[in-house]
Amino acid sequence: MTNTLTKPDSYKYFKDNKVSFITFNYDRSFEYFLYESLINSFTTIPLQETKTKELIPFPTRHVYGVVEKLPWQDSENGIEYRSFMAAHDKYQLIEKVKDNIRIIYDRVNDDIEEMKKLIRAAGRIFFLGFGFAQENLEILGIPDVLKHQPNIYGTALGWTEKEIKDLRGYLQSQFPQKEITPLLNNPYIKNFNCYELLREYL
């Protein structure tokens, strides 16, 4: 995402990356890493700009909710990634954020339709460390949302060849039938870890 950004003010073009993220995690580790990596790579970013979500505007959706936004995502309600506080204050914080997360059986999420739109609009989809649990596929409407036949890549570390073949067939099930034969390698489901898959296909 930063390979071509070689000048001190190139950070301005970071937001031009055409990418979105969907995660099943509650925490903000990914957003924190993305933000910290960017501002530490471009020390010329004005302080005021580091405090706005326009710096990293990519859609990041949490299927089962997120504990809370980071300060640069929400200047009024955001909470620092590492908050050092007294035990009483920590309890109050837990009370505040507990309603932001859901369990797997609580499928109510106003963002689900937005997530499906992101998937339908994608030309390439990467499943990283996903596991492909049936309930997680269903909540995102997969494979129905794949009718536009994007290029799909996924990790299946430790899977057998039969398991990978079955998964590929399931993901292909909504592809236009006439297009399946010439694209037998799509989806590209590999017995790779996340790093290996991205090195090979990104």
The amino acid present at 65, given as its one-letter code, is G
* Residue 79 placed within a domain: yes
pLDDT given for residue 105 in this prediction: 67
**Residues 37-71 pLDDT 10s:** 999 999 999 999 999 999 999 999 999 999 999 99
* Residue 67 placed within a domain: yes
**Residues 131-179 pLDDT 10s:** 999 999 999 999 999 999 999 999 999 999 999 999 999 999 988 865 5
195: domain range?
Answer: 116-201
* Residue 5 placed within a domain: no
- How many distinct structural domains can be found in the chain? 2
* Residue 173 placed within a domain: yes
Q: Are residues 123 and 190 in the same domain?
A: yes
Please report, rounded to a whole number, the percentage of residues in the chain having pLDDT higher than 90.
70
* Residue 73 placed within a domain: yes
Half-sphere CA count of 77, side-chain side, radius 13 A: 6
Q: Are residues 133 and 90 in the same domain?
A: no
Q: Are residues 95 and 122 in the same domain?
A: no
* Residue 120 placed within a domain: yes
Q: Are residues 22 and 72 in the same domain?
A: yes
Contact 41, 2 (CB under 8 A): yes
- Count of residues in the chain: 202
pTM of this prediction exceeds 0.95: no
Domain-terminating residue out of 47, 73, 100: 100
